[in-house]
Amino acid sequence: MTANIYRTHHCNELRPEHIGQTVTLSGWVNSARDHGGVIFIDLRDREGMTQVVFRPEENPETAQASHHLRDEDVIQLTGKVSKRLEGTDNTNLATGQIEIVVSGFTVLNKSSVLPFQLDVELSNEDLRLKYRYLDLRRPRMNRNLRLRHKIVKAARDFLSSKENDFVEVETPILSKSTPEGARDFLVPARLNPGKFYALPQAPQQYKQLLMVAGLEKYFQIARCFRDEDLRADRQPEFTQIDIEASFITEEDIYRLVEGLLKEMFQAAGHMNIPLPFPRITWKEAMDRYGSDKPDTRFGNEITDLCDVFAKSEFKIFRNTLDNGGVVRGVNAKGFAGITTGQMIRLNEVAHEVGLPKEVKQLAFIKYEGGEFKSPLWKFFTDEEKAALIKKVNLEEGDIVFFVAGPWESTCTILGRVRLEVAAMMETTKNSSALNFLWVYDFPLLAFSEEDQKWNAVHHPFTRPKSEDMHLLDTGSAGTLAGQSSNAAKGGSAPSLAQIRAVAYDVVLNGTELGGGSLRIHESDLQAKMFGILGVSEEDQKEMFGHILEAFQFGAPPHGGLALGLDRIVMLAAGEDSIREVLAFPKNNRGQELMTQSPGVADFRQLRDLYIASTFKPKAKEEGAAPQAN
RNA sequence: GGAGCUGUAGCUCAAUUGGUUAGAGCGCCGCCCUGUCACGGCGGAGGUUGCGGGUUCGAGCCCCGUCGGUUCCGCCA
């Protein structure tokens, strides 16, 4: 710290070797202990705390004035570093062997009583957000912000190092709307009446065009914007570490990102991160974990039971199997003691993610007290029972949940059940494991029943695997829906659904940290993709003409990835919400409660922008006059 | 858009089957206190139980509506 008129040292600096020196400190009153005579103050700054003492017998006027100090007053004081009295050292304080005997002080700013205490956990998040500048004074929040800085710095340093040599480039925030993906935030363009900028959902096109520009290695700590509903790990504006490089393969990306994440987590104090990360295909992730972002910190994997029930006479299983569906289960080890409430909750969860309404009750078998308990048991033959017990390793105290249906939704449902059981059993509660994982070979396309068309799973610039490239021609407009249902039944006819992308996600403990892909760099292939996605040639020209044209001027093969910085910091900090690692986050409705954004716009502002709001506030009651509050 | 949880003093929470004047801790204010470190002691202030309606002799508690918060589903290329 550089000494200046406010202070010669910070509050976590003075040690016994400073005894005898006259020092000046500035900071906040963390607590005041007024004994009537002698008064103690813990003075706090961002580095730590130092006890200061006011002694009436040495400086009567100063001591008298100190009676009026209250918590969170900002003061500047001068005094002599002294050894504490015998037996009064405080081992909880780094500066606990010394204290400052104050000769004089100034109140720089008096504090009113705070709306909440800084030393007590607060459950009212509204209040925390309204007074965020006070909330951030608390050590935990202060630590989180500084941790975030360290992690970002580690990322910058790693990518900028001589060895990696990436170039940080800023791309526009005022950008252009794209048809695919999330809802855009729009900004009216005053100089172009009737037109709008869109805030970027990601710098995707810009970074690819930087590759065409010959930059070869680009990164950016990029703010991204998506106007969708919020979650604990989703804010309307968030930060990505955005990376793109030319003349590389996915192996280069894996190696780079593994090194990068290791550096970032090490900066946060997590030292044991073995490389390389394990890899799993999307298909296997779905098969075993029912998720494209598996949490591998615990077992209870999904077991396929099609062979066990291949000859089953049980109607539901029979029909499912005959229609190309699957029967699968999850053995929740040691969860036979499930409560009624938990069972109800599990059913809700299963229905939320697609268990058909007709299936009233998630099927189960539990083995408890040497007895098999199940509504289904009576439908199974002895061979089936024996095969089942063996296949899922059903032991005393276990409960197995079953789902029968199409492969993907069956896996998804069981995957959610698996996670919910783990949450109920608090399986990962005290785990410090960091299970990094690559998920690769994602499908390129998914058929949307809602839109009745094929959509890009990752984004429209994603490169199909070369061995699947020929399948791009299997899609012709009239047969798309038919192919989709064929794929859903696990049919083997050539289908757009079977095309794999050179796309990969990096996952940590069941959270997607980021994802990327190799890109299309050929204009004809890119045009073909847009065609499959149902973007008309006219729209292609209008919305993507620049990128299609760019790909005709010597575009290098390229690819990249984006990492969700907020989530990374959240996990590194051990927090459950990214709001805890953002200085000024928004609440569930996208409001920032401290400044009260978003706010209303003045009629003149709107007029300048050539826009008018069509919003009509709901009338409270018929005939009731609107009330000001 | 849907579901769960939730709303009581400045903060964190309590209040038996619906039953007297809605309590506690912390904080705040006043007085006392010269070695504390979450200092201590004594005293005090502070509440339209989110809001509106209903049931009841009686509602913080039950019912309906509404508003806010939060978690999840939908959504998030």
- Predicted TM-score (pTM) above 0.90: yes
CA of A345 to C1' of B17 (A): 28
pLDDT at residue A620 greater than cutoff 70: no
Closest nt by CA–C1' to A461: B77
> Could you tell me the distance in Å between the CA of residue A546 and the C1' of nucleotide B60?
64
Paired tokens of A610: 């050539």
* Confidence tier at A450 by pLDDT (50, 70, 90): confident
Q: What is the pLDDT of residues A492-513, one digit of tens each?
A: 455 888 999 999 999 999 999 9
A628, pLDDT greater than 80: no
| C1' of nucleotide B41: residue with nearest CA | A35
Distance from residue A55 (CA) to nucleotide B41 (C1'), in Å? 22
CA–C1' A36–B32 (A): 8
User: A412: part of which helix (H) or strand (E)?
Assistant: helix A407-424
Q: Which three-class secondary structure state does DSSP give residue A366?
A: strand
What Å value separates CA A452 and C1' B74?
Answer: 18
For residue A398, what is the DSSP state?
E
Arithmetic mean of pLDDT over chain A: 91
- The 10s digit of each residue's pLDDT in A213-254 is 999 999 999 999 999 999 999 999 999 999 999 999 999 999
pLDDT digits (tens, 9 = 90+) for A4-39: 999 999 999 999 999 999 999 999 999 999 999 999
Task: Give strand B nucleotides closer than 7 A to any protein Cβ.
Answer: 1-3, 10-13, 25-29, 32-40, 67-77
Query: Is the pLDDT score of A619 beyond 60?
Result: no
Q: What is the pLDDT of residue A200?
A: 96
**What pLDDT, in 10s, does the model give residues A142-153?**
999 999 999 999
Q: Which nucleotide is nearest to A455 (CA to C1')?
A: B77
Starting at the edge strand that comes first in sequence, how are the strands of the sheet with A436-440 ordered?
A167-168, A217-225, A237-246, A558-564, A511-518, A503-508, A436-440, A279-281
SS3 A267: helix
Considering all nucleic acid strands, name the nucleotide whose C1' atom is nearest to the C-alpha of residue A448: B77
pLDDT in tens, A163-211: 999 999 999 999 998 877 899 999 999 999 999 999 999 999 999 999 9
Residue A589: Cβ-neighbour burial (10 angstroms; 0-12, 13-18, 19+): exposed
Query: Residue A627 — very low, low, confident or very high, per pLDDT cuts 50/70/90?
Result: very low
Q: Are A268 and A150 in contact (CB under 8 A)?
A: yes
Which nucleotide is closest to A125, CA to C1'? B69
Mind giving me the DSSP string for A123-165?
Answer: --HHHHHHTHHHHTTSHHHHHHHHHHHHHHHHHHHHHHSTTT-
Give, in Å, how far the C1' of B13 lies from the CA of A566: 32
- Please report, rounded to whole angstroms, the spatial distance between the CA atom of protein residue A394 and the C1' atom of nucleotide B29: 66
Sign of CA dihedral A23, A25, A30, A33: positive
Nearest nucleotide over every DNA/RNA strand to the A90 CA, judged by C1': B37
Output b/e per residue, A477-508; b: 16+ Cβ within 10 A: eeebeebbebbbeeeeebbbbbbbbbbbbbbb
pLDDT tens readout for residues A474-496:
754 444 444 444 444 344 455 88
- What are residue A129's phi and psi, to 5 degrees? -75, -35
At A571 the pLDDT is 95
pLDDT in tens, A297-341: 999 999 999 999 999 999 999 999 999 999 999 999 999 988 887
- Residue A250's contacts (CB-CB under 8 Å, 6 or more residues apart) are A440, A502, A504, A518, A559
Question: Can you tell me whether residue A462 is helix, strand or coil?
Answer: strand
